Amino acid sequence: MKKYQSQNFIAGKWESQGNGDSLVVLDKYHATEIGKIPYATEQQMDDAIVSANEAFEITKKWSAGKRAEMMQKLYDRLDVRKDEFIDLIINEGGKPRSYATNEIDRSLTTLKLAIEEATRFGGEMVPMDWGAGEGKTAFTKRFPIGVIACITPFNFPLNLVMHKVAPALATGCTTVIKPAPQAPMSCLAFAELFEEAGYPAGVVNVLVCDIPVAEKLVRDDRVAKLSFTGSDKVGWYLKGICGKKRVTLELGGNAAVIVDEDTDVESITDLVAKGAYLYAGQICISTQRIFVHTKVYDRFQSALIESIGKLKVGDAQDSSVLVGPVIDKGHMNRIDSWVQEAKAEGATILTGGRIANDKHNLYAPTLITNSTSKMKVAADEVFGPVAVLEKADSFEEAVQMTNDSKYGLQVGVFTNSMKNFKLASEELEVGGIIMNNIPGFRIDHMPYGGVKDSGLGREGLKYAMDEMTEGKLIVY
């Protein structure tokens, strides 16, 4: 197995020393060690913040063409090494091969979009030639705000880093990144490309660190913005301690699918099953709740169970596997405890409901019915291969059931009724409504984010760039 980068990247240098403790990174299927990274000290975090601010004094002066040129060098190097990154994502993240390949392709797309946006991103003309402004011309020009603190999750260890770093690079900002401890090595490997591309020291810093050191990054006034993707509990806590800096939070949820009575249910259950169980359900917009009109419920349930039975569970290196390992044993045991708790409270397990292989952290794709909105499997984010399936007597009731949640990220709506299409568009309390598709649909340039406990702000290149810049009004 290739030896991966196992040092922190601070101020343009690889640091093999830390606070004396190390993070051991495991292959998620075989549980073998693939990396051992030192935990960074508070002083090293301070060094990273200082370096990022020094680099910002350089990059904020770059032309749009220069920013695009430098990102193109990154793109070319990532493209050459894409197979290496695919294997790394499979090993450290337990992501099925086809989905890991998709992540690299999306990462390249995200970076390509940033290259394009860098050369067309700007302000706007402001109407001024009337009243007291007669004879005046006004426009806004956007300027980068500074250092971006990026805290990223394990489930997209490269593309969710890219969704923070690429818009920063496109605008002239610099970054300090704290990757997820379960899968930090893709981000460290990405940092190697900055060296090769010739970026100034400090444009990107990557530190594996414990909670107090991460909080130092969040609290520091020399950091202009926090961009966080992770759990709602942690995200809202960080917002509370970050001071006056800008904040973007992408916090996941318990995404729903609504199936109307006019839907050809047998034609969609393979898609719904994939949306619920791909990558063991460890996706912010995995389908977790399914609300089906009573008139087609029995047909849908039968077809969905058949679709679930066709999903292959196993080693993520196997290209036919869609349901790989849960990220670690702690998460697997939590998932199982939630399922068993729901069962004890009266829910019915239609399929799955068990640990499939304890050695390899495999959990059987699980479908539950007779649940309530208060059960953890419905109310909270399972982040595992678990979904609940319930009847709705009308489309309106399905919308109400979907909204009965503290979350609101995305929802998939299957209907052929224009009336219900309009109702869903107006009434669903979510950041995104995906018509006749699953809520897991995401294209990397679209405005992506949620409402309620699902987050604050939007990602997607242009939208993230807006939040990483300040508009300055110029009148003459």
The yes-or-no answer on residue 345 being catalytic is: no
Separation of alpha carbons 439 and 284, rounded Å: 10
Q: Which of 92, 103, 117, 250 is catalytic?
A: 250
Q: Where are the beta strands (DSSP E) in 260-305?
A: 289-293
Which residue's entry shows tokens 């994939």?
Answer: 274
Separation of alpha carbons 251 and 236, rounded Å: 9
Separation of alpha carbons 292 and 465, rounded Å: 39
What are the backbone dihedrals phi and psi of residue 165, each rounded to the nearest 5 degrees, phi first? -75, -40
Separation of alpha carbons 14 and 53, rounded Å: 19
441, 274 Cβ separation under 8 angstroms: no
Query: Sign of dihedral through CA atoms 327, 331, 332, 335?
Result: negative
Three-state SS for 60-93 is CCCCHHHHHHHHHHHHHHHHHCHHHHHHHHHHHH
Separation of alpha carbons 117 and 78, rounded Å: 19
Separation of alpha carbons 278 and 294, rounded Å: 27
- Collapse the DSSP code of 120 into the 3-class scheme (helix H, G, I; strand E, B; otherwise coil) and give the result: coil
Amino acid at 271: L
Which DSSP helix (H) or strand (E) runs through 465?
Answer: helix 461-467
Separation of alpha carbons 110 and 94, rounded Å: 22
Q: Which of 187, 242, 284, 467 is catalytic?
A: 284
Helix H segments across 225-264?
232-241
Separation of alpha carbons 291 and 400, rounded Å: 10
The yes-or-no answer on residue 242 being catalytic is: no
Catalytic residues: 250, 284
